[in-house]
Amino acid sequence: MGAGPMGESERGETAPRCRVNYYCANGHVTSPSFAIDAEIPETWDCPRCGFPAGRDGNNPPAPPRTEPYKTHLAYVKERRTDEDGEAILEEALARLRASREL
């Protein structure tokens, strides 16, 4: 009783493991352990910042380039010219004026 990890006798022996260090661009080091016979991935997501981490501490992977947030107006301007916008505005104003005359 109390001689080892709980339930180890029922589950059997643990597989031999190795620890691998991964380094992200922010200088964080992550050391997950893998089974000796497992395929070790080239990159790993840093649990602290979410950036990709690689095994070369002197040359970590570059952080992903994120697109800035676009407003609804920015998307509209991609689809319509200023002249189109003016025409749509004039049509809407004309309808509004016509409905007020009734």
State the pairing for strand pair 33-35/29-30: unpaired
DSSP class of 89: H
Annotated binding site for Zn(2+), which residues? 24, 28, 46, 49
DSSP, residue by residue, 36-86? TTSPPPSEEE-TTT--EEES-TTSPPPPPPPPPP--HHHHHHHH--HHHHH
Residues tagged in the binding site annotation: 24, 28, 46, 49
